[in-house]
């Protein structure tokens, strides 16, 4: 066992956990933060995605002991962080997911939204391809991703002041960088 001093969603938390526990185990089994989902426990599904120092990471493949002194954001922390930074209500990504019906069973959404949040923090006006690339590590079995991508586009549109793309219409304009080459 090891006493860990963590910074979770802005709160300093002290928790005793075995050294080999992952961040996901500490979140779900010690801290009751069950919003981060255990979909595969092997880094393949993305349902456990959280932000560590702003970067999207797989909580199931991250040792909790290595997260000391680092800022961890889980799905439970998005709304409070938005409010703390002067916003009202949920994070724009959450609001857009809600508005677009970008979820069915909802099990993949926490990870999906944190991947989206990480993207928008470093690229406020991404293209559709950049959105798809940023979400590429998050699997969803229900929605077919379409409304998820539309939701991120809506959050982008609200932020960047461009009209959101309607289903089946042309993509919105945004700052672009060349995507990795694919065969």
Partner 1 sequence: MSTNEPTGAPLAPNQDPKAQEKPRKTRKIKTTKDVNGVPQEIEIEVEDVDGPRWGERKDLKVLNTELRRVDGPVKVTGRARYTHDVRLPGMVYARLLCCPYPSAEVTIDVQDALKLPGVEAAIVLETKTRFLGQPIAVVAGRTSDHADDALRALKVTYKPLPWAVDRAQALAEGAPNVRKNGNKGKPGQNGDRAEAEAAIAAAPAKLEATYSVPVQHHASLETHGVVIDYRGGEEATVYISTQWTFAAVGQVAELLGLKANQVTAIVEHMGGGFGSKFDLGSEGAVACRVAKELKKPVHLMLRRPDEFVMAGNRSGNRVTYKAGMNADGTLAGLVANAEKFGGLGDGSMARPPYVYSAGKTYSEVVAVYTNTDSNRAMRAPGHPQASFGMEAVLDELAYQLGLDLLEVRKANLKDKVWHRQLERVAKEIGWFEHPHRTKPGPNSGGKELGIGFGISTWGGGGSGGTECDVQLAKDGSVTVSVGTQDLGTGSRTLVTAIVAEEFGLQLGDVVARIGNSRLPSATGSGGSTTTGSLSPAVKDAAWNARNAFAEHLAPILKTEAALVRFAGGKVFSQANPNAAMTWKQACATLRDAGLNAHGKWDKDRAAALMGNGVHGAQAAKVEVDTLTGRVRVLEMVGIQDCGLPINRTAVRSQLNGGMVQSLSYALFEERVIDPVLGLALNANFEDYKLAGPSEIPKMTSIIDDDDQRSATIGMAEPAIVPGHSAIANAVHNACGARVRDLPLTPDKVLAALGRIA
Partner 2 sequence: MKSFTLFNPKSLGDAVGALAAPTSSVKVLAGGQDLLTEMKEHLVEPDKLVNLKGVPGLDRIEFTAAGACTIGALVTVGALEEHAGVRERLRVLAEAAGSVGSPQIRSVGTVGGNLCQRPRCWYYRSEHAKCLKKGGDECFSFSGQNKYNAILGGGPSYIVHPSDLAPALVALGATVTLKCSTGERQVALERFFTLPGEGDIRRETVLRDDEVLTHVHVPAPAAGMQSTYVKFRERGSYDFALASVALALWRDGARVKEARVVLGGVAPIPWRAKAAEAALAGAAFEAATFARAADGAVQGAEGFGQNDYKIPLTKGLVQRALQSCG
Contacts with partner 1 by CB under 8 A lie at: 18, 21, 25, 28-29, 32-42, 44-45, 47, 74-76, 78-79, 90, 94-95, 97-101, 103-110, 113, 131-133, 135-149, 167-168, 183
Helix, strand, coil percentages for the chain (3-state, nearest 5)? 40, 15, 45
Of residues 106, 97, 94, 111, the one with CA closest to residue 50 = 111
| Partner from partner 1, partner 2, none contacting 153, C-beta within 5 to 8 A by type | none
CB burial readout 10-48, b (16+ within 10 A) else e: eeebebebeeebbbbbbbbebbebebbbbbebeeebbbb
| Partner from partner 2, partner 1, none contacting 160, C-beta within 5 to 8 A by type | none
| Residue 73 binds to partner 2 (criterion: CB under 8 A) | no
**Which one among 15, 30, 43, 125 touches partner 2, defined by CB under 8 A?**
43
| Residue 108 binds to partner 2 (criterion: CB under 8 A) | no
Judged by CB under 8 A, the stretch of 91-99, 101-109, 129-137, 150-158 that binds partner 2 is: 129-137
DSSP string, 129-150: HHHHHHTTT---SSS-SHHHHH
| Residue 5 binds to partner 2 (criterion: CB under 8 A) | no
| Residue 46 binds to partner 2 (criterion: CB under 8 A) | yes
Query: For strand 71-73 and strand 55-58, is the pairing parallel, antiparallel, or unpaired?
Result: unpaired
Q: Of 168 and 178, which CB lies nearer to partner 2 in the complex structure?
A: 178
Coil, strand, or helix at residue 71? strand
Q: Of 73 and 157, which CB lies nearer to partner 1 in the complex structure?
A: 73
CA distance 52 to 48: 12
CA distance 137 to 172: 23
Residues of this chain that bind partner 2 (CB under 8 A):
2, 18-20, 22, 41-43, 46, 49, 52, 55-58, 61-63, 65-66, 115, 118, 132-134, 136-138, 179-183
């Amino acid at each position: 066992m090891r006493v860990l001093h963590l910074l979770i969603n802005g709160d300093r938390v002290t928790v005793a956990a075995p050294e080999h526990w992952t961040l996901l185990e500490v979140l779900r089994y010690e801290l009751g933060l069950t919003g981060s989902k255990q979909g595969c426990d092997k880094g393949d599904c993305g349902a456990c995605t959280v932000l560590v120092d702003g970067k999207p990471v797989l909580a199931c493949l991250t040792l909790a002991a290595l997260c000391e002194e680092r800022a961890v954001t889980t799905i439970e922390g998005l709304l409070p962080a938005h409010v703390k930074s002067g916003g009202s209500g949920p994070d724009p990504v959450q609001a857009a997911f809600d508005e677009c019906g970008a979820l069915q069973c909802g099990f993949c959404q926490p990870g999906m939204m944190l991947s989206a949040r990480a993207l928008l923090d470093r690229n406020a006006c991404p293209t559709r391809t950049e959105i798809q690339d940023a979400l590429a590590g998050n699997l969803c079995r229900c929605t077919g991703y379409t409304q998820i991508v539309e939701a991120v586009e809506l959050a982008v549109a609200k932020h960047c002041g461009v009209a959101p793309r309607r289903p089946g219409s042309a993509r919105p304009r945004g700052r672009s960088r060349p995507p990795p080459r694919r065969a």
